[in-house]
Amino acid sequence: AQKITQTQPGMFVQEKEAVTLDCTYDTSDQSYGLFWYKQPSSGEMIFLIYQGSYDEQNATEGRYSLNFQKARKSANLVISASQLGDSAMYFCAMRDLLAAGNKLTFGGGTRVLVKP
């Protein structure tokens, strides 16, 4: 079974500063994918970034980067140069890439509030 843990229920960050959101996972799967999604107050889920377990390089997408440490089973999201629009809930998720289905298992989320 897969489990995702996000230990930070909420955090403040100053505008233009970087913020790191923690995500640890537990799985016996050999090949898996890690995802981050953003959920603003409007409710929609926005895909941010993906990291495969066999990817040698950390994933980056614009101001988002994923700090993947496989041995520590962590997949932290780094948001650089925070903007007011980054205020939202952030969810870490994972998926077994070899399973027949593609279900995502989500963590409990971290609420980020960017201060001007």
Q: Residue numbers of the site for other proteins (CB under 8 A)?
A: 33, 35, 37, 43-47, 50, 52, 91, 93, 95, 97, 99-109
Nearest to 75 by CA among 107, 39, 112: 107
Residues in the chain: 116
Q: Whole-number minimum distance, CB 2 to other proteins, in Å?
A: 11
Q: Whole-number minimum distance, CB 77 to other proteins, in Å?
A: 15
Q: Whole-number minimum distance, CB 115 to other proteins, in Å?
A: 26
In the DSSP assignment, the letter for residue 85 is: G
Smaller CB separation from other proteins, 48 or 114: 48
Token pair in block for residue 115: 């201060």
Smaller CB separation from other proteins, 16 or 103: 103
Yes or no: say if 55 and 68 are a contact pair by the CB < 8 Å rule.
yes
Distance CA 76, CA 39 (A): 17
Yes or no: say if 67 and 78 are a contact pair by the CB < 8 Å rule.
yes
Smaller CB separation from other proteins, 71 or 100: 100
Smaller CB separation from other proteins, 19 or 89: 89
Q: Whole-number minimum distance, CB 56 to other proteins, in Å?
A: 17
